[in-house]
């Protein structure tokens, strides 16, 4: 009942027999598109960033199929299907390109499909502590981490390292309903709303977990971004990354930084920004870093 109440007054669009929930704010061009990572809260983690960016640009955030307030539909959980859903949503809601794509965590892999399919519609890309297509394989071969492929039940170190780097740490705790986003308190509206949709979002989120390897493998074959302006933001505060064991934390961070640096090869016009007071959720720990990166890309057009 509470989940149904929170849907009242929200905006939805049919993308082919099912409706996706979205939030549009601001006016002008280009349109800034926010894509969330593997998170049952969908667009919620952008609540500190989107309203500020909307002061100088048109913005839109949304929930992927089956996540938070969006209907599941019947498309498979692939990067290509997600790209088509997003593109359809943008066109049907009257948001023409060019787009500046801002992707957190797993979106660093899935948004590659969008750029691959619609390169002429992309004006810039910002990765926010984004996942890498080789992430699973790289973690699996580390002598300290000794991580296994992500087939449930997930081993403890897989949960500590990979899940914390996917923004899905609340799935690693026994009491899901006590989860709060980083740099928030339990009474913040994002945490109050989130708890009513965890059980609703879980099936689709679990589908995404099971599809990770195939999504990541597919992304390794997608072409690069060319000279599209590209900013990679990485949270470097080890204490905020959710890995309690010091040795594991160090090994995880070493792998993560190598992968973050490798992102830069996607474009000949790339830049790396280190968010030193942030963990995985830079948009919550240091929202200004993300806002300034978007402003920079708009200013450079």
CATH number for the domain including 28? 3.40.50.1820
* Pairing verdict, β 122-128 and 99-104: parallel
Determine how many CB atoms are found less than 10 A away from the CB of residue 27: 11
Q: Is 267 helix (H, G, I), strand (E, B) or coil?
A: strand
Strand, coil or helix: what is 103?
Answer: strand
d(CA 11, CA 211): 28
226 DSSP 8-state letter: B
CB 162 within 8 A of CB 139: yes
Digitized pLDDT (tens) for each residue of the chain, 301 residues in all: 578 888 889 999 999 999 999 999 999 889 999 999 998 899 999 999 999 999 999 999 999 999 999 999 999 999 999 999 999 999 999 999 999 999 999 999 999 999 999 999 999 999 999 999 998 888 878 777 754 344 444 444 444 444 445 555 444 433 444 568 999 998 999 998 988 888 888 889 889 988 998 999 999 999 999 999 999 999 999 888 766 677 777 888 889 999 999 999 999 999 999 999 999 999 999 999 999 999 999 987 6
Specify the number of domains making up the chain.
1
**Boundaries of domain holding 22:** 2-299
Report which of 29, 6, 36, 53 is spatially closest to residue 292, judged by C-alpha positions: 53
């Amino acid at each position: 009942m509470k989940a149904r109440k929170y849907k009242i007054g929200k905006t939805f669009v049919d993308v082919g027999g099912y409706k996706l929930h979205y939030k549009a704010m601001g006016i002008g061009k280009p349109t800034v598109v926010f894509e969330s990572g593997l998170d049952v809260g969908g667009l919620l983690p952008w609540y500190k960033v989107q309203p500020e960016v909307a002061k100088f640009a048109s913005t839109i955030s949304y929930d992927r199929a089956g996540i938070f307030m969006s209907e599941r539909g019947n498309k498979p959980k692939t990067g290509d299907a997600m790209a088509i859903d997003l593109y359809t949503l943008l066109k049907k809601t009257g948001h023409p390109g060019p787009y500046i794509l801002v992707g957190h965590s797993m979106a660093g892999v899935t948004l590659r499909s969008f750029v691959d399919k619609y390169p002429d519609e992309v004006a810039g890309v910002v990765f926010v502590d984004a996942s890498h297509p080789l992430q699973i394989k790289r973690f699996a071969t580390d002598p300290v981490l000794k991580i296994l492929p992500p087939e449930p039940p997930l081993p403890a170190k897989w949960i500590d390292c990979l899940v914390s780097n996917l923004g899905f740490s609340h799935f690693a705790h026994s009491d899901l309903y006590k989860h709060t986003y980083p740099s928030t308190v339990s009474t913040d509206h994002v945490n109050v709303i989130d708890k009513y949709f965890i059980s609703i979002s879980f099936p689709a989120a679990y589908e995404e977990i099971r599809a990770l390897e195939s999504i990541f493998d597919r992304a390794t074959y997608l072409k690069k971004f060319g000279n599209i302006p590209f900013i990679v933001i990485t949270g470097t505060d080890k204490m905020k990354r959710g890995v309690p064991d010091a040795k594991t934390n160090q090994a995880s961070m070493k792998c993560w930084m190598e992968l973050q640096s490798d992102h830069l090869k996607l474009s000949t016009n790339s830049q790396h920004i280190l968010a030193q007071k942030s963990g995985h959720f830079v948009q919550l720990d240091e929202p200004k870093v993300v806002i300034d990166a978007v402003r920079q890309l708009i200013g450079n057009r």
